[in-house]
């Protein structure tokens, strides 16, 4: 993996062309950052996007019953149509960046979605000015609810027909900021790029009582603690070491007073996998392990297990073609071939199940707030990341539209590649 910080790279050719559009893109970013909105409630952001697209002269419309927006550049162009996604929702985090454009409403763009939206709008402004040079249409997909984690916002857009309605989308693209990559560096990986994020809730049911007489109770606190420890062996002893798996218990709720053993303790967390067979196996082992531990303690386990987004799988041919294009457009040190997937989850996976495409990364680690953990109250990428994201959008669109026909058709191998199977 690349170092997390380093010298900020000089602007490449396309970035210099985009510099006249950066001031507006940065202003859009700051406005969106000031007013983050949670999943399915992105009404003000939707309105702002529609206003900007109208100002740019780009035909656009909201999706009925949704906060999504669809716009089209060069709708009459005859070449391949590329769909570009930008997710719009924020997170329920109270911001602590101290920025002059920090959010004050108790929510925060702590995952960079403000830059995703603003950089796509900035790239759109540039591409509109060069609309006659586009080989085919560009469909702009401003998506709600990526952070929601269950149904999400991408699947409803697919179901609403955004990929099939004219102009029909031939391939899809999306970026995501990454705090562990140096600022303005691009990371590209064929095959599995992001994990499948599953969610679980375990209610450990015992028998409450006085804490001074634990032998007369069935202690759910003790059983829940043993479950937390016991689940770690799912990773250390039940899967191929080369096959990434994460099991995290992130919430524990139970009890009301120091001298009362409760009846119930609730555990909640996530399991991340990058291969379908591993996903099935880990769920089966998880259920068996939890039931075994709790039953051995005399209690009962009530398990709710929800499968989240699919693995985000980049088409191999598309990834190879676009990585080559990025290496031609930028100095070689600015393009990284990523050897391993990230264990976060992404509902852009639903778009990639329908069309060949690429989900790639733009680094933000700058030695300051852009290197803070994502989903933290302190994460704040710099304006340099806005410009790099704009350049990434433009470079990827142009390269994809000029790709050979076999690349646009995609490769079945690339769209199903994941981690090694588990015997």
What is the tens place of the pLDDT at every residue in 279-303? 999 999 999 999 999 999 999 999 9
Indicate the domain borders of the chain: 13-190+315-416, 195-306
Is 126 among the residues known to form the active site?
A: no
What distance in Å separates the CA atoms of residue 3 and residue 413, rounded to the nearest whole number? 30
pLDDT attached to residue 2 = 52
- Mean pLDDT, the chain, integer: 94
pLDDT attached to residue 34 = 98
Is 268 among the residues known to form the active site?
A: no
Give residue 393's Cα distance to chain centre.
16
Q: Which class is 195-306 in CATH?
A: alpha beta
- Judge whether 13-190+315-416 and 195-306 match in fold: no
What distance in Å separates the CA atoms of residue 99 and residue 381, rounded to the nearest whole number? 11
**Sorting pLDDT into bands at 50, 70 and 90, what band is 421?**
very low
Using the structure block, give the residue that is written with the tokens 């603003």. 118
Which entry of 126, 186, 309, 342 is annotated as an active-site residue? 309
SS3 409: helix
Q: Which class is 13-190+315-416 in CATH?
A: alpha beta
**120 membership: H or E segment, kind and range:** helix 113-129
Which entry of 30, 148, 266, 383 is annotated as an active-site residue? 383
* Count of positions (residues) in the chain: 423
Give residue 185's Cα distance to chain centre.
18
What is the tens place of the pLDDT at every residue in 55-93? 999 999 999 999 999 999 999 999 999 999 999 999 999
What distance in Å separates the CA atoms of residue 373 and residue 396, rounded to the nearest whole number? 27
Using the structure block, give the residue that is written with the tokens 């009301």. 256
CA distance to 120, 123, 167, 239, per residue, from 282 (Å)? 38, 42, 41, 8
Cis ω on the peptide bond leading into residue 154 (within 30° of 0)?
A: no
DSSP string, 8-31: PPPP-HHHHHHHHHHHHHHHHHHH
Other C-beta atoms lying within 10 Å of the C-beta of residue 225: 16
pLDDT at 414 over 70: no
248 has which bridge partners?
Answer: 270
pLDDT at 418 over 60: no
**Sorting pLDDT into bands at 50, 70 and 90, what band is 410?**
confident
What is the tens place of the pLDDT at every residue in 205-256? 999 999 999 999 999 999 999 999 999 999 988 888 889 999 999 999 999 9
Is residue 46 within 8 Å of 88, Cβ to Cβ?
yes
Specify the pTM: 0.92
306 has which bridge partners?
Answer: 199
What is the tens place of the pLDDT at every residue in 134-184? 999 999 999 999 999 889 999 999 999 999 999 999 999 999 999 999 999
pLDDT at 1 over 70: no
């Amino acid at each position: 993996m690349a170092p997390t910080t380093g010298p900020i790279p000089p602007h490449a050719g396309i970035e210099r062309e985009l510099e006249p559009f950066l001031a507006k893109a940065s202003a859009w970013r700051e406005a969106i950052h000031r007013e983050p909105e949670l999943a399915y409630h992105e009404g003000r952001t939707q309105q702002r996007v529609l206003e900007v697209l109208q100002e740019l002269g780009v035909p656009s419309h909201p999706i009925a019953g949704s906060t999504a927006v669809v716009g089209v550049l060069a709708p009459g162009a005859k070449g391949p149509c590329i769909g570009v996604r930008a997710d719009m929702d924020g997170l329920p985090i109270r911001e602590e960046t101290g920025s002059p454009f920090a959010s004050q409403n108790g929510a925060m763009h702590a995952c960079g979605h403000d830059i995703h939206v603003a950089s796509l709008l900035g790239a759109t402004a540039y591409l509109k000015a060069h609309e006659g040079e586009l080989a085919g249409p560009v469909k702009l997909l401003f998506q709600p609810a990526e952070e929601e984690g269950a149904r999400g916002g991408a699947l409803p857009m697919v179901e609403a027909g955004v990929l099939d309605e004219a102009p029909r989308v031939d391939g899809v693209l999306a970026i995501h900021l990454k705090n562990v990559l140096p600022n303005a560096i691009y990371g590209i990986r064929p095959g599995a790029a992001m994990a499948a994020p599953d969610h679980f809730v375990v209610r450990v049911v015992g028998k409450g009582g006085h804490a001074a007489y634990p032998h007369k109770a069935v202690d759910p606190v003790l059983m829940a603690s043993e479950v937390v420890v016991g689940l770690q062996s799912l990773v250390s002893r039940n899967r191929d070491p080369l096959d990434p798996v994460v099991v995290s218990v992130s919430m524990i709720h139970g009890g009301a007073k120091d001298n009362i053993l409760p009846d119930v303790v609730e555990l909640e967390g996530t399991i991340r996998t990058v291969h379908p067979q591993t996903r099935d196996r880990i769920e089966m082992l998880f259920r068996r392990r939890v039931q075994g531990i709790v039953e051995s303690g005399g209690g009962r386990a009530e398990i709710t297990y929800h499968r989240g987004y699919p693995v985000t799988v980049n088409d191999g041919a598309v990834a190879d073609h676009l990585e080559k294009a990025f290496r031609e457009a930028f100095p070689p040190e600015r393009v990284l071939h990523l050897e391993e997937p990230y264990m976060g989850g992404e509902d852009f996976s639903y778009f990639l199940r329908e069309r060949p495409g690429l989900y790639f990364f733009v680094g933000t680690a700058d030695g300051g707030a852009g290197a803070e953990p994502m989903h933290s109250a302190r994460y704040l990428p710099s304006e340099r990341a806005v410009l790099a994201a704009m350049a990434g959008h433009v470079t990827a669109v142009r390269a994809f539209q000029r790709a050979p026909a076999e690349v646009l058709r995609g490769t079945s191998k690339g769209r199903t590649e994941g981690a090694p199977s588990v015997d």
